[in-house]
Structure 1
């Protein structure tokens, strides 16, 4: 009887997971389908899982000026890789000392980190600070503003506090290891779960960021892929809004895809980032929960 109940519970649980997975995949399938559908078919019949009339025109329209897409990809990849690496280094260098119980003023420093999650100086001082530092039209303007995230510091601090035993650090000191050697040779190798988790968060932050490009970048060769996609959408909306020159033929305007090109841009934008998650999946849940289950 107990085995039958357990089997039924497992079946129900697996069924719920299958339904949840399908619910998550459904929007992605819709986006892919619409991006491969003829624009007139979308206007006539709406969104469908299977394209009513298959067409590559949205991608052809998007890649007419493929050099801009390639530059946007290059900028986003460079910014994401450099930003994530430096952010992980700085976050761990900040979180590890305040996780040590012998660190002076560890609690006030931790409170200062938490305080910045609740209050900030505002948009204008933030902009003036980076502009005065001469970061406009540089890749540094896309990297530095997202380097330190207080929430990530708190997660990493909890992980260090609840996972790295003080006796391990003390043993290393007895063996003659210095602080930086302990950090590099002991702490970091034991922190792969939380490093992978924070690395995924930061990778998504950098890859999806378009606001910093809009604020700090006026050189078209340095804009990120996401901001480039944002500009393309605005241009399409402007051309189809009726505010363009009346001399433009109506047939030419009708050829401009709207719904399909939006979905095509979504596929182009999310393409590379979906390959990151499988590499950190085995660490992801452990990195989030290990600090909550150890006392």
Structure 2
């Protein structure tokens, strides 16, 4: 009886009361709304008339529906499609390559029988704390390697990121049983077969997490394009959207050019706020599809088999 009473008491201690459950659910519903409401406002403003936005401000429902911002962005649709292709290629190839390289680096330094694990761990940790600076970074890729206007210059700088390497190493150390690796070695499996056949399938949760972050970094990056890409180079969709935004600001700031443009086409309205919102929608659209893809691997990784006696 005492054992049953003790178990029941432990369950009661760990159980969540209805009041606490209500508070927790309310908090997360509120937090979710705070994330979704700005996106809804973003969509509404992008489909609004520019003049109404300037006079009446932002509305959650367009007072006057307009597609002028999107027409302005896709007036020449061929470069947009090309930029989408470049962004998708850079994101997919860059993420897969980065995950492979970082996992291959993290696996040896997670093994306690690797003699130089502390040295290589310190090297990676040092890069997290200190960076070489922008000037040496630019000189290395642009002058020494000569990778200006090359598509791989948009991928290679993010192949290895110290924080992600240490994150994967920690998962390997804490979640991959040493007994499993030893049994694979006894059965005659080499290091590469053990890594790709046992370690990686058991590491899908951390690989999915890091892969999602790498995907976001590659898709949203415009700084590398700004550094290394000129007029003749490959342009990602985020960089092309940035250029469009800068062109709008330049036309608005230059009164002479803007007056000449209005004189040539009196009905033309220069999209400002609506164009910015439309750029955000165009840029964020495809990356949304990455979340369900990685979510599937989150669930799969959590249900992968464990050590069996």
TM-score normalized with structure 1 length:
0.91
Q: How many residues align?
A: 287
**Is 1:10 paired with 2:24?**
no
Separation of aligned partners in 2, 1:279 and 1:86: 18
Residue aligning to 1:69: 80
The change in CA–CA distance for 1:71 and 1:221 in structure 2 (over 3 A counts) is farther
- Tell me the CA shift for residue 45 of structure 1: 0.6
CA distance in structure 2 between the aligned counterparts of 1:146 and 1:101, rounded to whole angstroms: 27
The alpha carbon displacement at 1:154 in A equals: 0.6
On the 8 A contact 1:239/1:253 being kept in 2, the answer is no
Q: How does 1:34-113 map to 2 (within 5 A)?
A: 34-113=45-124
SS at match of 1:176: coil
Deviation of 1:80 (Å)? 0.4
Q: How does 1:242-281 map to 2 (within 5 A)?
A: 242-245=254-257, 248-250=260-262, 252=266, 255-281=269-295
Relative distance call for 1:178 and 1:123 in structure 2 (3 A) is: same
2:247 equivalent among 228, 235, 257: 235
Q: Using structure 2 for the length normalisation, give the TM-score.
A: 0.87
User: How far 1:245 moved relative to its partner?
Assistant: 3.4
- What is the DSSP-based 3-state SS (H/G/I as helix, E as strand, rest coil) of the residue aligned with 2:189? coil
Secondary structure of 2:209's counterpart equals: helix
Does the 8 A contact of 1:99 with 1:157 survive in 2?
Answer: yes
Q: State the partner residue of 1:195.
A: 207
Q: Which 10-residue stretch deviates more, 106-115 or 168-177?
A: 106-115
Shift of 1:284: 5.4
Pick the structure with greater CA Rg: 2
Unaligned 5+ segments in structure 2 are 1-12, 302-309
Shift of 1:6: 1.6
Give the equivalent residue in structure 1 for 2:37. 26
Q: CA deviation at 1:227?
A: 0.7
Contact in 2 for aligned 1:204/1:273 (Cα 8 Å): yes
**Partner Cα distance (2:157, 2:74) in 1:** 30
1:93 is paired with a residue of what secondary structure? helix
Please report the RMSD computed on the Cα atoms of aligned residues, expressed in angstroms: 2.3
Per the alignment, residue 292 of structure 1 pairs with: none
In 2, the alpha carbon distance for the partners of 1:245 and 1:40 equals: 20
For structure 1, the residue ranges without an aligned partner over 5 or more in a row are 288-295
Q: Distance in 1 between matches of 2:79 and 2:213?
A: 27
**What pairs with 1:74-223 in structure 2 (closer than 5 Å)?**
74-131=85-142, 132-220=144-232, 222-223=234-235
